[in-house]
Amino acid sequence: MTKTRVIAALIMAPVAICAILFLPTQWLAAAAALVFLIGLWEWLKLTGVDGLPRTVLLVLNLLLMVLLVWASAGSNVLFLLTILVGVGFWLLALVWLRYFNYGAHEESGSRMLKLAAGTLAIVPAWAALVLIHDSEPNGHIWLLTALATVWAADSGAYFAGRTFGKHKLAPRVSPNKTIEGVIGGLVAGLIVAGVFGWLAGVQLAGFGWLMLVAAVTVLASVLGDLFESLLKRHAGAKDSGNVIPGHGGVLDRIDGVLAALPVFALGKEFFGF
């Protein structure tokens, strides 16, 4: 399984990197919307929604993305507000993890919250991706920095957890995650953020802020991963799908990114690196 996982990653990573570096923002936004909406499709399945309602909800989220672009012509304010709402949602998700049994039995109220959570996770993350890529100068490098930080943290956590993991992080939500894995992921994420931030042109005065934002970004990616694990545990599913060999579904690959991108985007805007 590790071999299959690595081969799949070696195929996906160059495609994603080339798209980030060479596509204009509008085309990258369209491609990212497709990927994120596939993730939302899997999210809706985990909440027990299928058939026509699932399709309708997906279309409504697509229309929300289109409306956001249309209403934001010439201004980033709506994008920033959307991203801020996304960060707020992930803070609430942290509370939900504390009370992980809520929603386990598909009460109508909790299902509605899970459906709303899908939009609050997908749309702000997509908005953050677009905002970062469209920023000047070197927006494409900054987006690659944000994503590479999450990818490195995920890989670092995987291998550090397998090698050194002894202390469980959240055994009732995700039994395989360990504190040692999180530390390994944090170290890997900070190293990669530093290297890519240098390539993006971060100034010495802003390097410390970049490290701070990268650290919070890595921790946010862990939160996103844990929350998806919560959804899967409630649904009794091992993976969100099976379209990516060794990785499961699309949502299994972007869960950390969904929480991390809004944090990185807000940090970049606030500290101006």
For residue 154, give the nearest of 12, 6, 14, 256 by alpha carbon. Answer: 256
- Give residue 111's pLDDT: 82
Q: Which residue has the higher pLDDT, 241 or 215?
A: 215
CB 64 within 8 A of CB 138: no
- Give the integer Cα–Cα distance in Å for 266 and 57: 27
The two structure tokens encoding residue 267 = 């940090």
CA–CA gap between residue 1 and residue 253 (Å, rounded): 15
Q: How many CB atoms lie within 10 A of CB 62?
A: 16
Write down the pLDDT at residue 238.
87
- Helices 77-98 + 51-71 axis angle, to 10: 140
C-alpha 187/C-alpha 259 separation (Å) is 19
Is residue 43 left, alpha or beta, with left meaning phi > 0 and alpha meaning psi from -120 to 50? Answer: alpha
pLDDT score for 101: 84
Question: Mean per-residue pLDDT for 20-31?
Answer: 97
Three-state helix/strand/coil letters over 3-67? HHHHHHHHHHHHHHHHHHHHCCHHHHHHHHHHHHHHHHHHHHHHCCCCHHHHHHHHHHHHHHHHH
Is it the case that residue 67 has pLDDT exceeding 60? Answer: yes
Six-digit token string for 25? 């923002």
Average pLDDT score, the chain: 92
3-state secondary structure of 74: coil
Average pLDDT over residues 199-214: 95
3-class SS of residue 100 = coil
**Dihedral sign of CA atoms 94, 120, 253, 261 in order:** negative
Q: pLDDT exceeding 90 applies to what percent of the chain?
A: 78
Residue 122: which pLDDT band, with cuts at 50, 70 and 90?
very high
Distance, CA of 106 to CA of 118 (rounded, Å): 15
220-242 pLDDT, tens per residue?
999 999 999 999 999 999 888 77
| pLDDT value at residue 1 | 55
Instruction: Give pTM, 2 decimals.
Output: 0.93
User: What's the CA gap between 89 and 261, in Å, rounded?
Assistant: 13
Query: Who has greater pLDDT, 244 or 26?
Result: 26
Rounded to the nearest 10 degrees, the angle between the axes of helix 77-98 and helix 204-235 is 50
CB 252 within 8 Å of CB 259: no
Place of tokens 């672009």: 69
- Report yes or no: 210 and 202 within 8 Å, Cβ to Cβ: yes
Reply yes or no on whether the pLDDT at 131 is more than 90.
yes
